[in-house]
Amino acid sequence: MARVRFTHDFDYKPTSQSTVGYKAGMELTVKRECADQAVAAGKAVEIPSAGKPADGAD
């Protein structure tokens, strides 16, 4: 999984029978394959994870 911010609208096709549409400005966690395709197409940028550190420190 990867956290990305979409800079342009992007359609991700995980299978030939389905499409997931992401709108510009959305910031969320997506599958690594989706993130890689969107970044390679220049439609998204990867951002740091929104989760807490594994050791529980703030």
Q: Domain map of the chain by residue range? A: 2-46
- Give the number of other CB atoms < 10 A from CB of residue 45: 13
Q: What is the CA radius of gyration of the chain?
A: 13
Taking 90 as the threshold, does the pLDDT of residue 57 lie above it?
no
Run of H or E residues at 31 = none
CB 51 within 8 A of CB 31: no
Render pLDDT for 25-53 as a digit per residue (tens, 0 to 9): 999 999 999 999 999 999 999 998 766 66
Q: What is the pLDDT of residue 49?
A: 79
